[in-house]
Amino acid sequence: MKTMIKRNKWLLILPLCAVIFACAEQTEESTDEIEQRIIDAYLSENPGYSATSSGLCYKVVWESSGFDKPVDDNFVYVNYTGYDLKGNIIINGAVPYSNSEDIAKQLGTFAYTKYYGPKLWGINKSTLYAGLEEAVKMMQPNGKMRVIVPSWLSTMGTSSSRSLAAPIIVDVELLTVVTDITKYQAKILADYAYYNYSGLDSIQYNFFYRTLKMGTGLYPQHGDTIDVRYVGSLLDGFVFDTNIADTASFYRIYDKANRYNILSVVLDTSSTAIDYVLGFKKALERVTENSEAVTFFSSDFGYKSEGQGEIQPYTPMRFYLKIDRIRRKK
């Protein structure tokens, strides 16, 4: 009887040990596996998505045909808006993850100093989420897609660092594919000159200048000081800077902290001078006292591939110039 009792104890203990060892052998669920389960749960409630081998999920909202799809080293102009899986628009700091003016107004973040035109994305330029690059390369111009980007596809270029901690949904509308950004800017500038300044040809490749009002006196020389009022804008009319108070008020970018004084520029004609935007400086070399002029040029004479503030990389610029006086170097 004692033997039977001992045997029964071991029969109870052995299954318990098996359970303990089995639990010890199980590996913890990875963060990516947890995220995938969250995405799967979303897909079960929102059917109609397709998936790629990388884990990107996408749904074609509308499709176009007859155009080439973007490839590596192309640029694309897009409209986009990002959401979390609950449908809330993603806010990055105080700015929505979107270039939509309507959404900015809806969220109360709209500002006339912000640019809401098409966004320029570079393919294989290490500036865009891998998941968005993959999505855009499946699209054609005039098409729209909704994509779910997992965090493991939020890397850029060769970096393994993730920009996201959770999956996001992005609506992407592909507007234009640009295969050669320099030639594309040349066409934009030529069209702008044709429709706004009839007969105007470029002085230098992708650099245009026209006198609007003839002035008096001589042209400036190296070392002279030029007193100028100006309006800086993009070719679509977005004004990003001015030192004319009435103009700032008209475009609703007036800042009471700005005194809107005349800008005094000491002209430096040396090729190494980088004190002002090159196109702005080249235009000042052609003015006379009391004259007015307009110049517009490609990003080669502007902020090049870097951009600045609301001015995107590879973006042409336009300046209106009103010259008050030119002071000779003593």
The 10 Å Cβ neighbour count of residue 21 is 9
Amino acid type, 142: N
Range 10-16 average pLDDT: 40
**Contact by Cβ (8 Å): 60, 140:** no
Residue 151 DSSP code:
G
Let me know if residue 117 belongs to a domain.
yes
pLDDT at 5 over 80: no
The predicted structure's pLDDT at residue 160:
92
Alpha-carbon distance of 148 to 168, in angstroms, equals 6
Say which CATH number the domain at 311 has: 3.10.50.40
pLDDT digits (tens, 9 = 90+) for 252-290: 999 999 999 999 999 998 766 678 999 999 999 999 999
Of 144, 179, 214, the position where a domain reaches its end is: 179
pLDDT at 135: 98
**228-241, pLDDT tens digit by residue?**
999 999 999 999 99
Q: Is 295 or 23 the better-scoring residue by pLDDT?
A: 295
Provide the number of structural domains found in the chain. 2
Mean pLDDT of 66-81: 96
Letter string b/e over residues 243-258, b meaning 16 or more CB atoms within 10 A of that residue's CB: bebebbeebebeeeee
- Using pLDDT thresholds of 50, 70 and 90, give the confidence band for residue 27: low
The pLDDT of residue 273 is 63
DSSP 8-state code for residue 311: B
What is the Cα–Cα distance from 292 to 216, expressed in whole angstroms?
11
Do the domain assignments include residue 93?
Answer: yes
Backbone angle region of 203, left / alpha / beta, with phi > 0 → left and psi within -120 to 50 → alpha: alpha
- Please state, rounded to an integer, the average pLDDT across all residues of the chain: 91
Domain that holds residue 141: 31-179
Identify the band that residue 20 occupies on the pLDDT scale cut at 50, 70 and 90: very low
What would you report as the CA-atom Rg of the chain, rounded to the nearest whole angstrom?
29
Question: For residue 29, what is the DSSP state?
Answer: P
**Backbone dihedral region of 193: left (phi > 0), alpha (psi from -120 to 50 degrees) or beta?**
alpha
Whole-model pTM: value is 0.87
3-state secondary structure of 22: helix
Residues 40 and 157 placed together within one structural domain of the fold: yes
The whole-number pLDDT of residue 297 equals 98
Helix, strand counts (H, E) of the chain:
7, 14
CA angle 243, 244, 250 (to 5 degrees): 125
CA distance 122 to 232: 25
Judge contact between 72 and 181, C-beta under 8 A: no
- Taking only the tens place, the pLDDT of each residue in 94-148 is 789 999 999 999 999 999 999 999 999 999 999 999 999 999 999 999 999 999 9
| Domain C-terminal end among 157, 179, 201 | 179
> What's the angle, vertex CA 122, arms to CA 121 and CA 124, rounded to 5?
140
> Are residues 161 and 209 part of one domain?
no
What was the pLDDT predicted at 9?
43
